[in-house]
Every structure is written in structure tokens, then in C-alpha cells.
Amino acid sequence: MNDVIPNEPNGAWTPARSAQRYQIQGWGAPYFSVNAAGHVEVRPNPDDERTLDLFELTEDLKARGHQLPLLVRFTDIVGHRIKRINEAFRKAIEEYEYAGAYRGVFPVKVNQQRHLVEEIVAAGQPWQFGLEAGSKPELLIALAAMSEVGGLIICNGYKDQTYIETALLAQRFDKRVIVVLERLEELDHVFRASEKTGLEPVLGVRAKLTARGVGRWKDSAGDRAKFGLSTSQIVEVVDRLAERGMLHCLELLHFHIGSQISSIIPIKNAIQEASHIYVDLAKMGCKMGFLDVGGGLAIDYDGSKTDFHASKNYALLEYASDIVAHVQEACARGGIQPPTLVSESGRAIAAQHSVLVFDVVGSNDVRFGDPPEPAPQAHRLLHELHETWRGIVPKNVQESFHDASQAKEEAQSLFKYGYLTLRERAQAEGLYWSCLEKLSRTMKRLRHLPEELQQVEALLGSIYYCNFSVFQSAPDVWAIDQLFPVMPIHRLDEEPTVSATLADLTCDSDGMIDHFIDLEDERRTLDVHPIRPEESYYLGMFLNGAYQEILGDLHNLFGDTNAVHVALTDDGYRIRHIIQGDSISDVLRYVEYEPAQMVESVRRQAERAVANGTLTNPQMRMLLQHYEAALRSYTYLTEE
Ligand SMILES: *Cc1c(COP(=O)(O)O)cnc(C)c1O
């Protein structure tokens, strides 16, 4: 949908204009779009014509008793992402006549939810897609999840003796488990584990590259990086393996220069550097066979296709081609066999598949509208403000803004010294807001906005109170100011006339979303629709399937949200899994409370109150019923 926006501001609004306003084509294609009904439409498998209406799905799920906020996972999207990545590498390999293969792995840390990991393993089977573990618990997940399939298991992260022994024993399974050395000390553990188990290890080394990523994760590489071995340490590993006649145990070179690498240039630099390390390791007599390029493949969260931190300036095929071409060239020059290429894309596989749908529970949105003429005997200031309001035209917006602001300040100081009543001050402030509203409408007709007037929009911006917790569902918004696309999932055939920031349910002033995607830079407000009484208003936060769930915390004890896995069927959709969010009892137990004892404590107080005659029996029953029902209920706001 890319029709031209009509110039006249009163031109009829269309779903296509909403699509443009929210840039859904840029960040959402091919999975998300706007349909003719003005709802967000999901195409979980773009190779297929079938679509789902996200608004209707939400209403349907609500009718079945699934409360908002609701995390909707489309696991077909994950399957499609795995397919796209594998096809991109297959294409690049064909194009360059590369004599090696590609074997991807999914880094479990990105989203460890069992149902998702299981679906990733199943969807990846045609390509022998494997898993990457970054810790002992994740290794346990990988070993259990891949019981029926082939594919690599890459063991990264810091390792102790039992981690390494477990991995070594599992190397005898019918799959390849590779232990990647992150620190030099791990080699001693490996030697000990090998002696103890009587098994030869299959090893990799993680190189600390000079080439760095960009943006927030740039410190994942470089000399001061937390992970990986420097070149001298790598040479030491080779020497120590050689001493023991174990050079054939080293099969893989790994690097990871950080996540969300928004520019292709650092990726090229890293792969060039790593290719040469790989070639030299092979020349030094190591067995080799695998080059693992780590993660970092970015997601275009703002749809701008730039190297802005929330975007990326390269396509998937370009990424695969650059890797294949550089490795090809280095191996040809070194005269060695090209390796099997491994990548560990997490974000690029998991981000798109889940959407958080939440409802708006209220706003501070008060419209003052056109003010009545003050009574003749009213305070001079009120007459002046009304005069300012009446006189606003495009030519004098700046001057009118000054006049209105000054009058408001004067009202405040007159009040302070007792020259204005509370009612008069309230009238003056109402008139001031009427002026700002009229200024905002008038400014829309101007081509160039004086800088000073840009604050009018910010001052007028509404706050929409939303039924979710940033800390639980989008922690990176709070922690690293990450941008996620947020938009209404319905009413997209109406113009969104309100500019709002979004506040969550927590009592924390950081529990806000006040940065939004924009083609140019970032925006401070989101365009939304006026809330209608008695009608739900739903927003969706998109592309939050990577990292958010596991980083989420229990701020104010808002727990895990409900989650559903939705799959398309011939006649609609099917819920594959329902994962109940936390109840209040669940979150209380996390912090060591025992709900039964809490009920007891409240009951004792209620009985004392009944005995003292301050509470009646029916009142006591009602209180205890509420208390017990709340313990069983969802932590978020629920409808009656
Ligand atoms: C986090 C991580 C990844 C995943 O990175 P993405 O940018 O999400 O693809 C891959 N490999 C390692 C070693 C990691 O630590």
C-alpha cells in the first residue's frame, strides 16, 4: 500500500495512510500489514496467501477468556525466518560456487521458552538447524530439545568442569557438540575432562577480533572484550594441543562482534579478519572444518533501512553473500578447503514472531475546546486570554504563543499573592490550553515551524495509560532505550488525531514509552485515536520476540503475561499452546510469601474488626472473597 498522501489536510483518511503513518511496510513486511477493514493483518507464512486479522484474533481470544496483555506468538514466522536464512546462504553458496555448506544454530539465550525452542528445532529440521548454548542451563536445554534431530550444538559461554564433561559425553551422541573455548583456562578443564572420560574433545576457539561492531554492543569485540581469546592466546592453544598430539581436535573458529549490527561494514571487516585466522589455523595443522560467524544480523525496527541503531542498511542475501565471498577468497588464496559456515542469528530469527497486544485503560486527555466569552465583570486577565485565543491566525502563531504563556504565568503569580481566586486561576489555565489547541490546529497549516513552537505539540501530548509493564514485556525500552514499533491494531481507517506517550501500570516514572520510531530519527509521541467510552482500544508492540521475555522483571510484581501460540489452519487458526501468565500467588511466592498464611493474617484482623463491631459479617465475607480471588487472578488489570 503506497498511495500518495493527498495534500489537503481534510482529505479522507484511509487504511493506506495509516500504513504509511506507522511505516508498517518498512518494519513489518512481509508479515504485517494493514487490511481494508483498518486492522493489522498478519501473514505468518508469506509463501502462503492466508492471513489473520490481529484485531479479530484479539477479540476472539478475549472472548475465550484470555486476558490482556497477551503475547501472541506466530511460530510460523520463526519457521519462515529459518527458511529465509538458510535459503540466503544456499543462494550465496551457489552463486559463488562455494565448496562448503551452511549450518545455522539458534542461540537459546534469545528466547528459551520451551514451546518456542521445540518449534524452532522442528522447523529447522530440513536444514539440520542446531542450537547454541551460552551457559550450563542452556546446554541442558539444547541436549534435551535436539534428541530426535541432527544439527550442531555449539557450546559457548564460561564453562566449568561439569559443563565440559557433560558436553564431551554428549559428543558421543549422533550429533555434533562442539565446545568453544572462551577463556584459556577452559583448555585445562578440557584436558582434565578428556582424561577423566577417556574421550577426545571436539573443540572450537572464540577469537577476540580487532574488528568491532557498532552501536550498543560494540564492546563485544576488540582488545578489551569480555569474551574470546587474543591472537597470542589462540596460538598458545594450538601449541598446547600440538604438544599432546591433539591438533585434530580443533575444528571450529568462532567470533561474535555484538548484536544488532546496523551496518554491513563492520561485518565485512570481521569476516575478513576471521577468515585469515581460520586459514592460518588450518595451515598450522588444526583439523578445522567450521567457521562460526556468531550473531549480529540486525532487525529493521524502524523500517528506515539505514545504519541507525534501530535499523540496518543491508539485506539478508547481502549478509550471506559477503560472508561466503570473503571466506571463499581467503581459503582460495591460502589453498585450503572452505569450511562449513555456521551462524548464530538470534534476533533475526525470533524478533518478528511475537506481538504484545495490550489495551489502553485511560488517558489524561482533556480537551478544552472553544472557550465561552468571559463575563463582562470577569478578571482582566481572562479577557486578555480570550482575546489571544480569538486572534490566533497562521501569521501570529509565535506571538500568540508568547501572549498565552505569559498570561498563564501571570495568573499563577496573581494567585500566589491572593489577587486571583482558585476558580479564576482554573479559568485562566483552561483558556491557556484552549489557546494551545487552537495553535496546534493552526500550525498544521504552516510549512515551516519555528523551533520554539515545536514544544506546543509536546505540551499538548496526551498520556495513554496502558495495561502492561515495560519492565516485564519490553525491558530494553527501559534499559537501553530500544525502539520497538508500536501502533493501534484497529481503527486504522480513522485518522489518529491524538499525540500520546504511553505509560505502563508500574509506579515508576521510567515505566513509559516516550520514544517511537520515525523515518528520520525518533519521535517523542505516538499518533493514536481518541479513546471512545465503553470501547476497548488495543495497541500492539511488534518485533519483541528476541530477548525481552527473559530479561523481563517483576517490577511492582507484574508477572509474566499470558501467551498463546497461534498457527494458521485451512479454516482460520488454531491455538497450539496456551501459556498462562503468572497469578498474583505465583509472583508472591517468587518473593517468598505464602498465600495461605497471608489469607490467615487478613482473616484474623477481619475477625477482630467484627468482634469490635467495626465490620459486619457480610463485609468480612466480601473482603475475604476479594482477597482470595485476587490471589488466584492475573497480575494485570482485568475486566469484571
Ligand atoms: C547473543 C549471542 C548471539 C546472538 O546474537 P544476535 O545478535 O541475537 O543474533 C550469538 N552468538 C553469541 C556468542 C551470543 O552471545
205, 180 contact by CB (below 8 A)? yes
133, 142 contact by CB (below 8 A)? yes
> Which pLDDT belongs to residue 555?
94
C-alpha separations of 221 from 213, 229, 296, 512 in Å: 7, 10, 12, 32
93 with 202, same domain? Answer: yes
Taking the C-alpha atoms of residue 59 and residue 70, their distance in angstroms, rounded to an integer, is 11
The verdict on the CB of residue 256 being under 6 Å from ligand 1 is: yes
The verdict on the CB of residue 559 being under 6 Å from ligand 1 is: no
Q: Tell me, what CATH number does 142's domain have?
A: 3.20.20.10
Prior bond of 30 cis (ω within 30°): yes
Identify how many contiguous H helices and E strands the chain contains and give both numbers. 22, 23
The verdict on the CB of residue 294 being under 6 Å from ligand 1 is: yes
Terminal C-alpha separation, the chain: 39
Q: Is 634 exposed, middle or buried (0-12, 13-18, 19+ CB in 10 A)?
A: buried
Prior bond of 475 cis (ω within 30°): no
460, 440 contact by CB (below 8 A)? yes
Task: Select from 131, 139, 181, 256 the residue to mutate for testing ligand 1; criterion: most ligand atoms less than 8 Å from CB.
Answer: 256
453 with 319, same domain? Answer: no
273 with 130, same domain? Answer: yes
Residue 561 identity: T
Taking the C-alpha atoms of residue 623 and residue 615, their distance in angstroms, rounded to an integer, is 10
β pairing state of 516-517 and 522-523: antiparallel
Instruction: Identify the sign of the CA torsion 272, 259, 212, 289.
Output: negative
End residue of a domain, out of 338, 354, 370: 354
- Residue among 468, 490, 469, 474 at smallest CA distance from 354: 474
> Which pLDDT belongs to residue 224?
67
> Which pLDDT belongs to residue 123?
95
281 with 162, same domain? Answer: yes
In the predicted model, residues of the chain with pLDDT beneath 50 are 1-8
Q: Tell me, what CATH number does 392's domain have?
A: 1.20.58.930
Asked whether residue 62 is domain-assigned, the answer is no
Residue 403 identity: D
Instruction: Report the 10 Å Cβ neighbour count for 460.
Output: 17
Three-state DSSP string of 109-144: HHCCCHHHHHHHHHHHHHHCCEEEECCHHHHHHHHH
- Residue among 110, 120, 117, 123 at smallest CA distance from 140: 117
Q: In what order do the strands lie in the sheet with 250-254?
A: 105-107, 130-133, 152-155, 176-181, 203-206, 250-254, 290-292, 340-342
Which atom of ligand 1 is nearest the CA belonging to 254?
13
310 with 388, same domain? Answer: no
Residue nearest atom 2 in ligand 1 by C-alpha distance: 295
Domain that holds residue 618: 588-632
Which atom of ligand 1 is nearest the CA belonging to 261?
7
Give the distance from CA 301 to its chain's centroid: 9
Asked whether residue 345 is domain-assigned, the answer is yes
Find the Cα–Cα–Cα–Cα dihedral 320, 323, 326, 328, rounded to 10°: -80
Taking the C-alpha atoms of residue 243 and residue 391, their distance in angstroms, rounded to an integer, is 90
> Which pLDDT belongs to residue 521?
84
Taking the C-alpha atoms of residue 252 and residue 354, their distance in angstroms, rounded to an integer, is 33
Residue 528 host element (H or E)? strand 526-528
The verdict on the CB of residue 156 being under 6 Å from ligand 1 is: yes
Give the distance from CA 82 to its chain's centroid: 19
C-alpha separations of 437 from 442, 444, 467 in Å: 9, 11, 28
C-alpha grid cell, residue 513? 514509552
End residue of a domain, out of 457, 482, 497: 457
The verdict on the CB of residue 201 being under 6 Å from ligand 1 is: no
The verdict on the CB of residue 342 being under 6 Å from ligand 1 is: no
> Which pLDDT belongs to residue 640?
64
Could you tell me if residue 406 is left (phi over 0), alpha (psi between -120 and 50 degrees) or otherwise beta?
alpha
Taking the C-alpha atoms of residue 85 and residue 296, their distance in angstroms, rounded to an integer, is 13
Give the distance from CA 429 to its chain's centroid: 40
> Which pLDDT belongs to residue 143?
95
Q: Phi and psi for 219 in degrees, rounded to 5?
A: -80, 5
> Which pLDDT belongs to residue 556?
95
Q: How far is the CA of 297 from the centre of ligand 1 (A)?
A: 9
343 with 391, same domain? Answer: no
* Residue count of the chain: 640
C-alpha grid cell, residue 114? 520451551
- Cα angle 321, 288, 203 (rounded to 5 degrees) comes to 115
387 with 312, same domain? Answer: no
343 with 384, same domain? Answer: no
Asked whether residue 165 is domain-assigned, the answer is yes
Task: Select from 105, 155, 254, 259 the residue to mutate for testing ligand 1; criterion: most ligand atoms less than 8 Å from CB.
Answer: 259
Asked whether residue 31 is domain-assigned, the answer is no
99, 123 contact by CB (below 8 A)? no
Residue 178 identity: I
Instruction: Report the 10 Å Cβ neighbour count for 6.
Output: 12
Residue 275 host element (H or E)? helix 264-283
114 with 212, same domain? Answer: yes
C-alpha grid cell, residue 257? 562482534
241 with 323, same domain? Answer: yes
Asked whether residue 184 is domain-assigned, the answer is yes
Taking the C-alpha atoms of residue 75 and residue 119, their distance in angstroms, rounded to an integer, is 7
105, 344 contact by CB (below 8 A)? yes
Taking the C-alpha atoms of residue 627 and residue 639, their distance in angstroms, rounded to an integer, is 17
Q: How far is the CA of 426 from the centre of ligand 1 (A)?
A: 56
Could you tell me if residue 456 is left (phi over 0), alpha (psi between -120 and 50 degrees) or otherwise beta?
alpha
What is the gyration radius of the CA atoms in the chain, in angstroms? 30
> Which pLDDT belongs to residue 322?
97
End residue of a domain, out of 431, 457, 483: 457
The tens digit of pLDDT for each residue in 1-54 reads: 333 344 445 578 999 999 999 999 999 999 999 999 999 999 999 998 899 999
439, 457 contact by CB (below 8 A)? no
Domain count, the chain: 3
The answer to pTM > 0.85 is: yes
Asked whether residue 364 is domain-assigned, the answer is no
Residue with cell 509521541: 525
The verdict on the CB of residue 215 being under 6 Å from ligand 1 is: no
Residue nearest atom 3 in ligand 1 by C-alpha distance: 295
**DSSP codes joined into one string, 376-389:** TTS-HHHHHHHHHH
Asked whether residue 396 is domain-assigned, the answer is yes
Instruction: Report the 10 Å Cβ neighbour count for 607.
Output: 12
Asked whether residue 542 is domain-assigned, the answer is no
302 with 387, same domain? Answer: no
Residue with cell 571450529: 252
181 with 277, same domain? Answer: yes
